[in-house]
Structure 1
Amino acid sequence: MLKKLLFTLACCLISLPLLAADLVVIAHPSVPDGLSQNQIRDIYLGRNQQLPNGQQATPIEMSDNSPLKASFHTQVTGRSLAQLNAFWSQQVFTGRGQPPRSVESPAAMRAAVAATPGALGYLPASEVDASVKVLLRP
């Protein structure tokens, strides 16, 4: 059991740099171009829920067990998963906000962003298709 866990952890750690170099922030086609990394960070941390065109921003996350989530937050929000979870626990406890909804796979992320006006998400660049647009390559 321990060997299997260590092997899985090693695979995740080995693949993390590959995912980090390949990660892109995507959006529904209705989201305006030119959002900065700071604006995207603020949307994902619940500091700003409105896009520059007045549209409601809807951030979508990968599940906690996805290395993409860790990579995205390290690069874009500057937080580890532990810091992010502590932040959202505090926000929920104080009634200041709720974490973004999450999906289980890159395909589900792409589909959710494509189907939700104002949505933002993140994927490996190889998973992007014409249903979404790339906003940022962190």
Structure 2
Amino acid sequence: MKSLILCTMLLFTNLAFAELAIVVHPSNDSNFDESVINRIYTGKEKSFSNGNKVIPLSQEANSAVTEEFNSKVLSKTSSQLKAYWSKLIFTGKGTPPKELESDAEVIKMVAANPDTIGFVSAAAVSDNVKVVLTF
């Protein structure tokens, strides 16, 4: 019984500390740092440093990777972020990132559109996208 509990705890510990990768289209030569990513995902930055319009992609709000992104990158809980976006939507000042279902969907969309940016589990990254930051 103790070993089962220990194994379960280790599994969740690994999930809670999974590395995240911020990915863009391979042709995107913009500059990125944590501040830029934060501004993009809070609707304060509307374009990449190369001048192209930015289309941020997210994953479902209840996914582990989204929870990790919100905590590590935005320093917000899901409920704080939901309240933030509700206010911006209500006042007509912003639109939240498009939510996709999985790492694979984010990678597929980013690989197909140079104006997108997304976050995925680092283990899911493929050669179809470029990693610009990891957390």
Q: Deviations over 1:5-34 (max 9, x none)?
A: xxxxx8995454232xx2111111232253
Matched, 1:119 2:116: yes
Give 1:78 deviation, angstroms.
Answer: 1.2
TM-score (norm 2): 0.86
Residue aligning to 1:4:
none
CA contact (8 A) 1:16 1:71 kept: no
Q: Root-mean-square deviation (CA), in Å?
A: 1.8
- What is the 5 A alignment of 1:1-138? 14-19=13-18, 22-138=19-135
Q: Percent identity?
A: 32
Q: Which runs of 5+ in 2 are unaligned?
A: 1-8
- In structure 1, distance between residues paired with 2:64 and 2:126: 21
Q: Which has the larger radius of gyration?
A: 2
Q: Which runs of 5+ in 1 are unaligned?
A: 1-9
Distance 1:98 1:77, change over 3 A: same
How many residues are aligned here?
127
Answer 1 or 2: which has greater helix percent: 1
Q: Deviations over 1:68-122 (max 9, x none)?
A: 0010111111111111000000000011011111100111111011111121111
